[in-house]
Amino acid sequence: MSAELGVAAMKAEELSAEEIVAEVVRQAVQEDGGANVCLTSSFQTEDMVVLHMLREHLPKVPVIFLETGYHFAELIEYRDRMARDWDLNLVNALPQTTLEVHEKEFGLLHIVDPTKCCAIRKVEPLMRSLEPFAWWFTGLRREQSPTRAGLKKIEDHRLPTGKVLKKVSVLADWSWAQVEAYASEHQIPRLSLYDRGYTSIGCEPCTAVPVAGADARSGRWGGKKLECGIHTFSEKQ
């Protein structure tokens, strides 16, 4: 990492989301023409907001989506519609095995051992997909759950292979109200599942509408855990 990048990382907490996006992309373009930047997206509103900002600078930024085989039909329809309407460079990250083979070997693993299921169908495909990149943008926010309360806007992460890349969460200090306001201002289409009361949307069998007053991710995995492992399996530096 250059000295200039080090300064940018240290000052990131003081910068707006748009300023961080512009600075990181400027540096990334100098390094590798911008080919070293990606966004992971579950096509929830936070991710669409970050994608909207990124597309201002990198219209064809790779958008990595974890195709687990268990997603809501409404989410897949929204993903495909937005990929078409926004002409996205969509990268569907697939597990090593098909869902049919997975269930033949493990049964309904998402019920008996959801952590192992996530490791196979989400964590491994993502870690593999991140290998070509140096900058990893996310839509994570501190407000989403207690596990994300200490999130920094720019952090170093080591992948299982030992490669270190920068994880950039430009919305870390945003509230849900700010996310919704940005999406409304920029006319970002809304995923219909929000209208049914969902506040954090993952695989359909592992996602429920949270109880009133609970944090946004409390409806995931029947309340047994708050993270699939994507943001905990990679080692922070």
Closest to 140 in 3D by CA, of 169, 183, 179, 175? 169
CB of 162 closer than 8 Å to CB of 149: no
HSE, side-chain direction, 13 A CA sphere, residue 225: 14
- Tokens encoding 169: 């969460």
**Active-site annotation holder among 38, 117, 118, 228:** 228
Closest to 71 in 3D by CA, of 95, 50, 52? 95
Query: Is residue 38 annotated as a catalytic residue, yes or no?
Result: no
CA distances to 70, 118, 164, 175, 189 from 112, rounded to whole Å, are 15, 12, 33, 34, 36
Is residue 162 exposed (0-12), middle (13-18) or buried (19+ Cβ within 10 Å)?
A: exposed
CA distances to 51, 148, 161, 170, 234 from 142, rounded to whole Å, are 19, 5, 27, 11, 18
Which residues are known to be catalytic? 228
